């Protein structure tokens, strides 16, 4: 525990804001989004890319969040 790494508070905040912002934008434009995303055909790119975007942004937020609260993997000896 003596050589503890610095907690990634800043990355957590940045990814958190970007993620929250993305959620806000999508849910704020709910009608337009659901309409466009379900047109089918090539419009399929919308939901797929959105899912990738969130897995990156929100996934990174989650990872940093768990680090900050101190939930980390067991260190291998």
Per CB under 8 A, contacts with another protein among 35-74 are: 35, 37-41, 43-48, 50-52, 54-55, 58-59, 62-63, 65-66, 71-74
18 near another protein, rule: CB under 8 A: no
The single residue among 7, 9, 17, 23 that binds another protein, judged by CB under 8 A, is 23
53 φ, ψ to 5°? -60, -45
* Binding residues with another protein: total (CB under 8 A): 35
- Is there a contact between 68 and 12 (Cβ–Cβ < 8 Å)? yes
Q: Give 10 or 47: the residue with its C-beta nearer to another protein.
A: 47
Half-sphere exposure of 67 (CA within 13 A, CB side): 16
């Amino acid at each position: 525990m003596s050589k503890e790494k610095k907690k990634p508070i800043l990355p957590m905040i940045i990814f958190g804001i970007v993620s929250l912002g993305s959620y806000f934008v999508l849910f704020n434009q709910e009608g337009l989004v659901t309409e466009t995303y379900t047109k089918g055909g090539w419009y399929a790119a919308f939901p797929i890319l959105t899912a990738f975007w969130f897995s990156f942004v929100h996934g990174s937020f989650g990872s940093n969040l768990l680090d900050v609260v101190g939930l980390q993997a067991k260190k291998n000896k």
